[in-house]
Amino acid sequence: MFAKSTILLQVQFRAFDGNKVTPEDVKLTIYDKQKTLIEEITFGLATDGQGKFEYEYTDTTGSDFIFEYSGIFNEKPILARQEVNVKFN
């Protein structure tokens, strides 16, 4: 990814048995590399209704960041986290 780019941040939630699950109250949280909160996104998340969520995020910092999708499934928290490395060309 390049600085000031828009990137599609996706997640496919799955249970321990590998089956797709659709959690409730899903949010997308963006952190910098020092784990400082940059942004929380709760509206505008696209979903296929089968546990896949995505959001077109425009990086405004030009720095590496971490994104985390989280929600509630079977009254327990569920999350997925990934690091994005920004390249300057």
Which are the contacts of 36, defined by CB distance < 8 A and separation ≥ 6? none
Distance CA 66, CA 25 (A): 20
pLDDT of residue 35: 94
Beta bridge partners of 37: 31
What pLDDT, in 10s, does the model give residues 42-87?
Answer: 999 999 999 999 999 988 778 899 999 999 999 999 999 999 987 7
pLDDT of residue 63: 85
